Amino acid sequence: MEYTRFEKARIVGARALQLSMGAPPLIETPADVRNPVRVSMLEYEAGAIPLTVKRTASHQVKAS
Amino acid sequence: MASAQTLNSLVKTYAFDKSTAERLVEAGFTVTSAKSADKKALMAAGFAGNETEEILLKFSKGKRDAAARRGTRKVVVDDRDFESTMVKVETRDPDLLKKDALLGKHLGEGMLPQRIVRKLVDGGLARGFSDAQLKLAADLALEEYNHAKVDATEAAGIVGAQSIGEPGTQMTMRTFHFAGVAEINVTLGLPRLIEIVDARRTPSTPTMRIFLKEKVKGDRAVATKIANQIEMTLLKDIAAVDADLGSLEIKVVPEMERMAEKDISFEDVLAAVNSVRRITATEEKGGKNPKILVKLTEPNFKNLQKAVEDLKKMKVKGIDGITRLVIRRDDDEKGYILFTEGSSLKEILEIPGIDHSRVLTNDIVQIQECLGIEAARQAVMDEAYATLQGQGLTVDRRHLMLVADVMTADGEVKAIGRQGVSGQKSSILARAAFEITVDHLLQAGMIGETDPLQGVAENIIVGQPVNLGTGAVRLAMDTVKLAKLVKTMPTPVSTVPVVVEAPAMSYEGTAAGSAEPEFAEEPEPKEEA
């Protein structure tokens, strides 16, 4: 699903917060990557973040 | 003249019909005196009983209507499904439908505006595109279009304001420029932009550009004739008005050359003079040039003075407000164009010989009254864009589109400032933060108002995330996805320091190794904030 840059930022940020508070990562990460934001971004690119965005009619988003 | 103002006010604010209003003005009423007049006074002024009732009713209603129109705008939340909000423009023209289909089949899930589709098809057909080429065109267009779209919840207002404001700092303050025609001055630059955004009723330099019909635009004589019809000529411009204090009469002596220039006949002048109230005009014979003798119906000094003034300022020919007119030949146009100082769109459109579809004016309110609010919206955009362009600045039209939309969304052209859009926000805090702080807070406190905290300013004041950008994103857990991911997630590696059990100690002293308990390798402390 095509996310706006705001949605992406929010998703990555929320996941990074979760990781920083002890949530286990959902993908394998290289050993030197420990920063929660970087891990979260890797998870995002792998499509491995279980968060979605609720959109209403006032949210008209780019067609994918 | 005060009576013209009264007339205007009576018709506009209190919705009187023209004849009643004229009678009220004739009777010597001003708006204030008429409002407070009682039935007796009105009847004394010559109104019948039922008429006085209507008049009284109109005055009490007028105030209530004006107050109702000043209401505040409430914020409306739109939760409808996206599909139901799309406006589908249907066409039944088979040619157009065929064309639309030519490109439409290549679009698939994507959507392009109808105008772009039509342009693509027309361009493609003109160049003899094959189907594959059309598909390529469609794909490229779709890509460009999606790339150009603004993200949802983007702070378009702020971006637009800054995008217009920043070049605004580079604009000159100097107002005048000849706009291509030597005699006519037009307000330019920053002052003009301020006029537009403040939705001023009349611009400081109203001006029109009038094009002529295709057939006659090259004919100078026709252009001059039309120009004479339009340019406002006052009596004093073509005649000498002299008052004879002894006999309490006025002599009007028309100058024949001036009259010929303006294409006005003596009879026109006589008729016009006669139309002035409380005088009678007759032709005075004798001498080479005809003269007009003006007698007062009530001969006294005051009336004489007033009559002289009225006569001098009286319009003999032309359209009210068009103080000046210049005819110019333009090469691109291959004909003559009329430039005016002064603007009167409704009247100009009635003049035969002009090209009605191309008349231009810079008075936005006139455009709204004559051509509608959508035309006014377009005018706001065009005038603003032209003003910026005139200073060598290019602002993306979408920012001006937003400003124009906000100004015209409620059906009338509203100013941006506190008497318009900004003053009508439903949030108390937002209005208090804008201007006149204490008044808004006091008023709200007295009534016991609530602030719904939906907008930007009030949330900043209160300290909550704003409903823009990331703050407008509502996240939810996708439990199905989570269940799947958990199955494949890597085994977690503990990063907590582990304490190894202390080895048993003998009374003789050291155990194997040392007396201290061993610790597992401590991981490095968390770096990188």
In this prediction, residue A38 has a pLDDT band, given cuts at 50, 70 and 90, of very high
Better-predicted residue by pLDDT, B187 or A61: B187
Q: Using the beta-carbon criterion (under 8 Å), do A57 and B78 form an inter-chain contact?
A: yes
Residue B313 has a pLDDT of: 82
Q: Using the beta-carbon criterion (under 8 Å), do A54 and B476 form an inter-chain contact?
A: yes
Residue B369 has a pLDDT of: 94
Residue B256 makes CB contacts below 8 A (sequence gap 6+) with: B289
What does the pLDDT look like over B370-420, one tens digit per residue?
999 999 999 999 999 999 998 889 999 999 999 999 999 999 999 998 788
Residue A64 has a pLDDT of: 31
Gyration radius (Cα) of chain A, Å: 13
Residue B423 has a pLDDT of: 82
Given a contact cutoff of 8 angstroms between Cβ atoms, the answer to whether B327 and B294 are in contact is no
Q: Distance between CA atoms of B318 and B264, rounded to whole angstroms?
A: 10
Which residue stretches of B448-490 are H helix? 456-462, 479-488
Residue B515 has a pLDDT of: 46
CB contact burial B439-460 (16+ within 10 A = b; e otherwise)? ebeeebeeeeeebeeebbbbbe
Q: Is the ipTM of this complex over 0.90?
A: no
The number of CA neighbours under 13 Å toward the Cβ of B488 is 11
Residue B493 has a pLDDT of: 60
**The total number of residues written for chain A in this structure:** 64
Residues of chain B short of pLDDT 70, as ranges, are: 1-2, 13, 15, 49, 57, 60-90, 174-183, 277-279, 281, 283-288, 492-529
Given a contact cutoff of 8 angstroms between Cβ atoms, the answer to whether B227 and B327 are in contact is yes
List C-alpha distances in Å: B206 to B195, B323, B345, B408: 11, 10, 11, 21
Which residue stretches of B48-128 are H helix? 49-69, 82-85, 94-107, 114-126
What does the pLDDT look like over B281-316, one tens digit per residue?
676 666 667 777 777 777 778 878 887 888 888 887
Given a contact cutoff of 8 angstroms between Cβ atoms, the answer to whether B232 and B316 are in contact is no
DSSP 8-state assignment for residue B472: G
Name the token pair of B477: 């857990």
Residue B388 has a pLDDT of: 93
Q: Is the CB of residue A27 less than 8 Å away from at least one CB of chain B?
A: yes
The label of the residue with tokens 């100078």 reads: B220
Interface test with A, best of B81, B470, B478 (most A CBs within 10 A): B470
Residues from B in contact with A at Cβ < 8 Å: 77-82, 84-85, 109-111, 146, 149, 151-154, 469-470, 472-479, 481-482, 485-486, 488-490, 492, 526, 528
